[in-house]
Amino acid sequence: MANPERFLLAGVMGWPVMHSRSPKLHNYWFEKYGLAGSYVPLAVKPEGLRTALRALPSLCFSGCNLTIPHKQAAMAIVDENDLIARKIGAISCVVVRPDGSLLGSNNDCYGFIHNIVQEFPDWRADTGPAVVIGAGGGARAVVYALAERGAREIRLINRTFAHAQRIVEEFGGPITVVPWQERHISLAGAAMLVNATSQGMVGNPPLDLNLAKLPQNALVADIIYIPRETALLAAARAHGNRTISGLGMLLHQGRPAWKAWFGVEPEVTPELHALLAATIPQSWQA
């Protein structure tokens, strides 16, 4: 349990970062669990990442989350990366240990899976091919999570073929890279589609993907949570598919972070989900 005599500090580092709803999430938990502390946005440019991370112990931070574009670069800055982070090749969370050293971990895979399972308890990763769009830190976490849950076929698609191929070489397993120009037809027979890019986020163009070949019983997920319904999810819903946004992923990935930082394992409740959803534009058209 966290020291009640110390003001607790954590935050999220990114560039940009002010769009993040992580401060609202974590400060809700501070209030709910009666802990004196604060979680703050830390706008850190890529060239300042090393200085910012190494300053965490001196500033008495318990740790921080990492978002775009820092998840891979931070691995070379922290003192140690845990096994899951090393396998994924990206970190989403930094823990300041009692001796001041920095431990990198990745909770995105945890958040991704627990978001789906909470919304769709009957979901299974091994019911058919999964199509994942993207090859960045988020995509790496999604691919790792699906493989760990027993996915038998993962079709990985990225504009830059070599970036996706690198994931195949590092991960092994049931992953096949599909060329970008074949992305539309690659949806045939898929049981799941995941957008793990920033395409569709507020300020970015929608993901260029035609869903005509996607079976109507496929689950469509987006790791984006601003807006609550991206253009992809809106198109999938109109197509007859079940959909799930990235908001629950954000909420659930915070749970193991809190356990590591403060010794408390918080709950993701309908009240919390509704509280954060109310702060986010509903539609990509908003």
* DSSP-assigned beta bridge partners for residue 175: 154
Q: Where is 105: in which H helix or E strand?
A: strand 102-105
Q: What letter does residue 205 receive in the DSSP assignment? A: P
Examine the residue annotation and report whether 32 is marked as an active-site residue of this protein: no
Q: Where is 155: in which H helix or E strand?
A: strand 154-157
Residue 221 and residue 141: Cα distance in Å, rounded? 14
Do the beta carbons of residue 109 and residue 171 sit within 8 Å?
no
Is cis: bond before 215, omega within 30 of 0?
Answer: no
Residue 99 burial (C-beta neighbours within 10 Å; 0-12, 13-18, 19+) = exposed
Classified as helix, coil or strand, 150 is coil
Residue 226 and residue 246: Cα distance in Å, rounded? 8
- What would you report as the CA-atom Rg of the chain, rounded to the nearest whole angstrom? 19
Q: Where is 13: in which H helix or E strand?
A: strand 8-14
Closest among 213, 224, 242 to 281, alpha carbons compared: 224
Residue with tokens 């109507």: 216
* DSSP-assigned beta bridge partners for residue 80: 103
Name the catalytic one among 24, 71, 87, 259: 71
**Active site members:** 71
